[in-house]
Chain A
Amino acid sequence: MSSIGRIRNFLPQGVWAVLLSVVGLSTLYAAPFELPPLNAPPSTEHHVGKVVWADLVTPDLAAAERFYGGLLGWTFQSIHAGNSDYAVALADGRPVGGLFQKAIAAGEHRQSAWLTFIAVRDVDAAKRTALSQGAKVVSDSKNYPARGRQAVLTDPEGAVFAILASSSGDAPDFLADSGEWLWSSLLSKDPGAEAAFYQTLFGYDVFDLASDDGSDHVILSSDDFARASVNAFPAGSAHRHAHWLNFIRVDSTADSVAKAVALGGRVLVEPHVDRHGGQVAVVADPAGAPFGLMEWTESDSKTEPK
C-alpha cells in the first residue's frame, strides 16, 4: 500500500480521536459553573440588604467538609468545572453556603475567610454607587446562570463583601434553623462612617444602640428586620482589620465550641451572653476562617443581660 493510502486509512481514526478530544475539552472548559439557585422553586420576593449567602474560601476543601460536616451536620454537593472545586453546603437539605477551594499563593501570608453576600436588585447599579462612596472592586460583576449576578467589593475600610442579585429571588424572612446562618456583624474602626456607607448602598434603616462598654454598635435594618450590626473594635484590640463575621445558629454554644475544638478548630472568643440573652462565641475552622456560633431560643431572656 502506498504511503498516501496508509494515511487515508489512518485519517478517519485520527479524525475521530481529534473529534472526541475537541468535544471533551470544549465540554470541560466551556461548561458554565453551575451554582445552584438560592430559591427552588424561584420566587419574585426580594429583600435588598438581607444577607442571603456565604462562601468560604479554603485551601483544603475535604478538610473543610469534615470540619463543618462534623460540627453542624452539613452535607455537601460537589461542583467541579474547569479548575474550580466548589461544594454547596446543605443544612437539612437546604443550601446554606458554599465552600470554594483555592490555593494560597506561595509566600502570601493570608488566611481563609467566609465571604458575606448581601442582596441587591441590580448589581451594576449597586457597584457604581459603592465605588462612588469609596468601595473598590475585588471581583467584577459576573453572571452565574442559576444563581444570578454578583460582584465582590471592599468597603471604605477594606472589609470584603459581595453583592448578589439572585435570579430566583431572595428567601422569605424566616427564623434560621439550627445549623443555618442567623446573624452578621461588621467589625470596623468607624461604625458611623461604615453604617453611612451601607445605608447609602442598601437603603438601610440605622438604629444606634446604647452601649455599656463605651463601644459603638449600630443595627442595620430593612423590611423592619434587623439584618446586621456594625461594631467598633473593642478597646485594646490590635491588628484591627475591618471584616464581616457571620454567626450560625446552634442549640448550645458551649457544646458547639467544644466540638469545634475537637475537630481541629480553635476558640477566638469564649462563649458569653450577648444582647439577646443567649450565648455567642467566635471560633476559627482548621484553616483559620473565623465564624460565630449563636444560640437563639424562644425562652431566652428578653431583657438585656447585666
Chain B
Amino acid sequence: MNILRNRCVALGFGAVGLALALTQLSACAVEGVGVDGSVGVGYDAGYYEPYGYEYGGWGPGYRVGPGRGGDRRGGGHPGSYRPAPASRPTPSIPSRPRAGGSPRGGGGPHH
C-alpha cells in the first residue's frame, strides 16, 4: 500500500514538473519569432480615435474617390512629393474581376 502511495506521490510530482515544463515550452513556442522577440499573444492593435469627426463641407465638387483612369492633372504641390510625370495617365483601381473559381483567401481590401 505504501509503495502504491509513494508511486502516486512521485507520479503527481512528476506530472507537476511536466506541466511546468510544458508551460515553459509553450511560452518558448511563441517567443523569438520577431526581431525583438515580440509575438502576438493577445491583440493590442486596437485604438480609439479622438472624439469628434466632422464631415461638414463635403460639397458637390469635393471628391475623394478614384477616377476611371486618365483624370485631369492639377497643379501639384511644389516642394512636397515627387509628382508622377505629366505624360503618365492617372491610374484607376483594378478592374479585373475575381475569377469565379479562384482560391478563397483573405486579402481584405482589394484595391
- A-side interface residues toward B, CB under 8 Å? 8-9, 11-12, 14-16, 18-19, 22-23, 26-27, 29-33, 35-41, 50-55, 57, 81-84, 86, 93-97, 100, 102, 104, 108-113, 115, 117, 124, 138-145, 147, 149-150, 152, 160, 162, 168, 170-177, 180-185, 187, 191-193, 195-196, 199, 205-213, 215-219, 221, 224-229, 231, 233-241, 243, 245-247, 268-269, 272-278, 280, 282, 284, 288, 290, 294, 296, 300, 302, 304
Contacts and interface: CB of A to CB of B under 8 A. Distances in A.
Nearest to A306: B60
A22 to B, nearest CB: 4
B43 to A, nearest CB: 4
A82 B48 contact: no
A100 B43 contact: yes
B106 A139 contact: no
B45 A100 contact: yes
B14 to A, nearest CB: 9
Interface of B: 5, 8-9, 11-13, 15-16, 18-20, 22-23, 26-27, 29-30, 33-36, 38-68, 71-77, 79-84, 88, 90-98, 102-111
Contacts of B107: 38-39, 52, 94-95, 170-172
A61 B48 CA distance: 14
Given A22-B16, A95-B107, A226-B66, 16 more contacts: A8-B5, A33-B41, A53-B109, A57-B46, A94-B105, A96-B106, A102-B48, A110-B48, A150-B45, A168-B105, A183-B66, A207-B71, A208-B83, A226-B92, A238-B54, A282-B55
